[in-house]
Amino acid sequence: MDNGASSYRRFLDGDDNGFIEIIKDYKDGLILYINNFTRNIFTAEDLAEDTFVKIVTRKPRFSGKSSFKTWLYAIGRNVALDYLRRHSVVEVSTDELQQIREEEESLEAQYIKKEDNIQLHKAIRNLIPQYRQVIWLVYFEDFSNIEVAAVMKKSVRSVETLLYRAKQSLKTELNKEGFEYEKL
Amino acid sequence: MRNYKDMADAVFRRRDEYVASVKRKKRIALNVSLSLCACTLAVMGAFGIWKLGVVEPDPTIIGTKPQHIVETTEPTLQSLPANATSEGNHTEETAQLISGNRTEPQSSQSTQTDVIRPIVKPTIPFLPSTPIGPVLPVRPTTPAPPVVIIPTVTVPVVTDPVEGSTTEKPVVGEPDVPPTSGDADARPTRPAPMVTDPTEGDVAETVCPTMATDTARPDDATNPPVVQPTWIPQEPTTAVCNTYPPTMPATQAPCGPEQSPPTEPPQTENDCPPTSPNALTFVVRDSHGNGVKGAEFALYSGGYCSDTAVSDSNGYFTLYLPKNHLNAYVVQLSAPNGYEIDTHIVYIGKTPSSDYLFINPKA
């Protein structure tokens, strides 16, 4: 799989198929990442689409200082934060909440694929958004602390501290449910 | 959840919509900017035209008056003073009005005797202007075409010298304004003179030489004046003045003692009627103190002969100064047979006085 930079370069040269490849490769991971902010899989999907539209219309320059996935997730994070800034309170009905749970579990099974990671992902739903983001980026997207710091626009030291506190919180949650995750 | 193809289609559809909206916004902005530029240029053009004063408000509209039009006090013929219509001044001012050389109207009181002003030679030939007629009804608004203005020439005829009443016989035109004395310093120069030979004997019946003369006035009494009168023939039916031109004497007569003029100026015949009752009475005597009869004298003012007189049996004669005389002087034109002419020139100042005695010794 291309890391996305070459596809984006082809898109900038006028090949729309390059961006279709980007959507194909990074759509699910971006939705699940944005879902950590919105806690609504449908809203996260819409915000992911807005993220792609923003890149397509404005065609921002990718300098290559980080990976394309880090750059793309940083744009998605800004879009999600803008959405949350505009919609501080999102009312979700009970039926819609059930549907959201089903869609989210479907996407987890499609994207995570590993049963342990799926259980871990269900465990982080109860964490605060910042802990969910850093655990998702580190344990599900395989980002380094530097990349996480670039996406979350924090320093590496802050990311390390945030990651340590997120693990401690996740351990507590897993212990409550009788799981003991050896990687933590 | 949608698959990546559906999301890609939605992304590119929204991109197309976004590009179309941007193009539409650019087109609208371009139209608005062009409209603003056009309006700005129109406003600037209108302001510039207004500042340049190209567009004038309609003066026919009641209550509107152009601000940039300055009302001038350029005199017209109708607005000239009444005394400026005599002595041929009206022709000179008319010429100045037509030729545009006129500077300012001069009142009759402003010109004094000793002031010499340059005389602008008009381009229009003029007729003799003494005595003059009324102002021609020339419209001042007409352009200045090369029009030959023929003024009304009225020659006064003395009907009763004692009373001084005169009647005017219009020669050309219809006079409706009586002539008055005018500025003598504003006389135009004369065109090509028609000089008659002064030695001819029939000059006694010529008209009063009131036209311009190219006279070289002497500076003092030692230099007798060389009078070269200019003559313009007129109808013999006009009024007859005193004899002229003079026969200048070859020798200079000695100056005699001064003698005060008589209280009652004698009346002379064939006198040009004065335009102003500023009479000067002189006396001419021989070397023995007796009055000399038949001596002819002339009064010049502004280079023109304004009056002539012949001494009576007692030697008295009266000359009449014009109202605004300029550089007036009295010279003797001729002496009776057996007498020598007095070649002295008596200048008349601002305060005229006839305290000079002409001496014509016997030959």
Higher pLDDT, A63 or B150: A63
Q: pLDDT-based confidence at B26, cuts 50/70/90?
A: very high
Three-state DSSP state, B346 = strand
Q: Is residue B273 part of a domain?
A: no
**A35 vs chain B: nearest CA distance in angstroms?**
13
- Range with the largest mean pLDDT of A177-181, B81-85, B254-258, B285-289: B285-289
Cβ-based burial of A41 (10 A; exposed 0-12, middle 13-18, buried ≥19): buried
CB contacts, 8 Å: A20 with chain B:
4-5, 8
Q: How far is CA B231 from the centre of its chain?
A: 21
Residue among A52, A57, A107 minimizing CB distance to B7? A52
Report CA dihedral (A157, A162, A163, A167) to the nearest 10 degrees.
150
Q: If phi over 0 gives left and psi between -120 and 50 gives alpha, with beta otherwise, what is residue A67?
A: beta
Sign of the torsion formed by the C-alpha atoms of A45, A47, A53 and A59? negative
pLDDT tens, B183-192?
A: 444 444 444 4
User: Is there a domain that residue B133 lies in?
Assistant: no
Listed by number, the residues of chain B in 11-40 with a beta carbon closer than 8 Å to a beta carbon of chain A are 11-12, 14-15, 18-19
Q: What is the pLDDT of residue B183?
A: 44
Please tell me whether the peptide bond between B225 and the residue prior to it is cis, using omega within 30 degrees of 0.
no
Q: Kindly state whether residue B260 falls inside one of the protein's structural domains.
A: no
What is the spatial distance between Cα A37 and Cα B127, in angstroms, rounded to a whole number?
A: 116
Interchain CB distance below 8 Å, A49 and B4:
no
CB contact under 8 A, B7 and A16: no
Give the closest-approach CA distance of A159 to chain B in angstroms: 32
Please give the pLDDT value at position B187: 45
- The DSSP call for residue A34 is H
Chain B CA closest to residue A31: B1
Three-class DSSP category at B281: strand
Q: What pLDDT does A79 receive? A: 93
Q: Could you give the CA distance from residue B207 to residue B199 in angstroms, rounded to a whole number? A: 16
Angle at B134 between CA B133 and CA B137, to 5 degrees: 130
Residue B193 within a domain: no
Residue B78: inside a domain, yes or no? no
Residue numbers of the domain that contains B20 = 1-71
Determine how β-strand B296-301 pairs with β-strand B328-334: antiparallel
Q: Is the pLDDT of residue A75 over 90?
A: yes
Is residue B43 scored above 90 in pLDDT?
yes
- The residues, ordered by sequence, that sit 6+ positions from A36 with a Cβ below 8 Å of its Cβ are A129, A132, A133, A136
pLDDT the model gives residue A52? 93
Q: Token pair for residue B109?
A: 């009181």
Judge whether B43 lies within some domain: yes
Q: Is residue B151 part of a domain?
A: no
Domains of chain A, each with CATH number or no CATH: 1-111 (1.10.1740.10), 114-184 (1.10.10.10)
Percent of chain B residues topping a pLDDT of 70? 37
Phi, psi at A163, each rounded to 5°: -70, -40
Tell me the pLDDT band of A173, cut-offs 50, 70 and 90.
confident
pLDDT category at B62 given cuts 50, 70, 90 is low
Residue with the larger pLDDT of the pair B124 and A30: A30
Question: How far lies B257's CA from each of B27, B38, B312, B348, in Å?
Answer: 112, 96, 19, 18
* Residues of chain B found within 8 Å of residue A53, distances taken between Cβ atoms: 11, 14-15, 18
Query: Using one digit for the tens of pLDDT, what is the confidence trace for A29-64?
Result: 899 899 888 888 888 999 999 999 999 998 898 888
pLDDT of the residue at B58 = 62
CA atoms within 13 A of residue B281's CA, in its CB half-sphere: 14
* Structure ipTM: 0.78
pLDDT of res. A72: 92
Beta bridge partners of B309: B297
For residue A92, the model assigns a pLDDT of 66
Spatial contact of B353 and B282, defined as CB atoms under 8 Å apart: no
Question: B352 Cβ partners below 8 Å, 6+ apart?
Answer: B278, B280, B321, B325, B328
Total count of domains within chain B: 1
Between B197 and B41, residue with greater pLDDT = B41
- Is residue B24 predicted with pLDDT exceeding 90? yes
Side chain identity, residue A100:
I
CA distances to A129, B2, B111, B217 from A80, rounded to whole Å, are 12, 19, 103, 117
Question: In this predicted model, which residue has the larger pLDDT, A105 or B93?
Answer: A105
Distance CA B309, CA B316 (A): 9
How high is the pLDDT of residue A183?
59
Label residue B277 by pLDDT band (50, 70, 90).
low
**Averaged pLDDT for residues B154-162:** 46
Instruction: Tell me: pLDDT of A171 over 90.
Output: no
pLDDT of residue B213: 40
On the question of pLDDT at B310 being above 80, the answer is yes
Q: Determine the pLDDT at residue B96.
A: 55
Residues B308, B296: contact at Cβ < 8 Å? yes
Give the nearest partner residue to A56 out of B1, B2, B12, using CB atoms: B12
Output the pLDDT for position B55.
Answer: 66
Yes or no: say if B135 and B78 are a contact pair by the CB < 8 Å rule. Answer: yes
pLDDT at position B359 over 90: no
Q: Comparing A117-121, B81-85, B175-179, which segment has the lowest mean pLDDT?
A: B175-179
**Which structure tokens are listed for A49?**
């689409």
Residues in chain B with CB shorter than 8 Å from the CB of A7 are none
In a domain, B17, yes or no: yes
Q: B61 CB near a chain A CB, below 8 Å?
A: no
- Please give the pLDDT value at position B67: 52
- Contact at CB, B1 and A48, closer than 8 angstroms: no
pLDDT tens string A10-20: 999 988 889 99
Mean pLDDT of chain A: 84
Higher-pLDDT residue of B237 and B101 is B101
